[in-house]
Amino acid sequence: KKKKKKKKKKEKSTMLGRFIKADEGRLGVRFYHSLNLGLVGLAPVAFLAPKTLSFPLDMALAFALPLHGHIGMNYVITDYVPKFISKAATGPARIVQAGITFLTAAGLLKLNLTGPGITGTILKLWSSSSK
């Protein structure tokens, strides 16, 4: 008798599902690598650019930095949560990470919209204060 192989049902992937499982799939990997290359160029340009360009560059950083961290931390979650906690904890850990990503993006957006911006804040840390 031949055993029939059960076909796995392919789950429809939603935008939120792809965000939560950001390290899975070819598109996620390609996007992560493109984001890395973009940040390598964007970060120095944001600090060297004239003041008129700082706001749009800060806004780009406000989305790119949390997204980069989110995808990278999903790789860490995939590798280490099943080893040190349990495989069942992977899903909840990814949801917590998504929350951290949203809060980080919200904080950076608030800094850009109501404060000196990301680059302005970091440049203030490097400037000498004469009080």
Considering only 14-18, 29-33, 61-65, which range has the smallest mean pLDDT? 14-18
Share of the chain above pLDDT 70, in %: 88
Q: How far is CA 73 from the centre of its chain?
A: 8
Tokens coding 79 = 């590798």
pLDDT higher at 4 or 131: 4
Residues 47 and 119 sit within 8 Å (Cβ to Cβ)? yes
Residue 9, pLDDT score: 53
Mean pLDDT over residues 89-104, rounded? 94
Residues near 21 by Cβ (< 8 Å), separated by ≥ 6? 28, 74, 94
Q: How far apart are CA 102 and CA 95, in angstroms?
A: 11
Residues 37 and 56 sit within 8 Å (Cβ to Cβ)? no
* Mean pLDDT estimate for the chain: 86
Q: What is the pTM of this model?
A: 0.80
Residue 4, pLDDT score: 60
Query: Is it the case that residue 131 has pLDDT exceeding 60?
Result: no
Tokens coding 89 = 């904890």
